């Protein structure tokens, strides 16, 4: 059975509400169902990418955990941005800042628009590009 199909089957069996769908051309991205922060997870190029959006009165608080796959040690020296497609088709780019105390990246997406959001997280760690695609509903 193909790895992506297996991962999606596991997500469906576990009843997770937001399956992760990732597209890769030159490197393998695998959707995983295990997570510490109840977020959407992708393993790519030796990194663990976990996206946790939370509704707020001002919009959506975006939490992003960027860790090494083998040790889950936080990677705090990356440049991280989110390219967000809003439900109305408009696009926004948001810079996520690293919180050393909480050991993850955060940003606030200020919008009152409701519906399905598509998010591409772009990470640059010393010139190496590691990206992931996620989605959420507000």
Handedness of CA 42, 45, 48, 51 (dihedral sign): negative
List the domain boundaries for the chain. 3-137
Which residues pair with residue 18 across a beta bridge? none
Tokens of 89: 């088709």
**Phi, psi torsion values for 12, nearest 5 degrees:** -65, -40
Say which CATH topology domain 3-137 has.
Immunoglobulin-like (2.60.40)
pLDDT in tens, the chain (138 residues): 444 444 433 333 334 333 333 433 323 344 443 446 679 999 999 999 999 999 999 999 999 999 999 999 999 999 999 999 999 999 999 999 999 999 999 999 999 899 999 999 999 999 999 999 999 998
Interacting residues of 99 by C-beta distance below 8 A, sequence separation 6+: 105, 106
């Amino acid at each position: 059975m193909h790895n992506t199909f297996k991962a999606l089957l596991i997500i469906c069996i576990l009843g997770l509400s937001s399956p992760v769908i990732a597209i890769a051309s030159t490197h393998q991205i695998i959707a995983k169902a295990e997570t510490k922060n109840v977020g959407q997870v992708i393993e790519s190029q030796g990194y663990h990418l976990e996206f946790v959006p939370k509704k707020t009165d001002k919009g959506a608080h975006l939490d992003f955990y960027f860790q090494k796959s083998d040790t889950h040690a936080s990677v705090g020296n990356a440049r991280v941005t989110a390219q967000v497609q809003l439900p109305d088709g408009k696009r926004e780019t948001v810079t996520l800042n690293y919180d050393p105390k909480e050991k993850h990246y955060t940003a606030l997406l200020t919008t009152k628009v409701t519906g399905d959001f598509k998010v591409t997280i772009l990470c640059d760690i010393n010139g190496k590009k590691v990206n992931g695609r996620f989605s959420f509903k507000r």
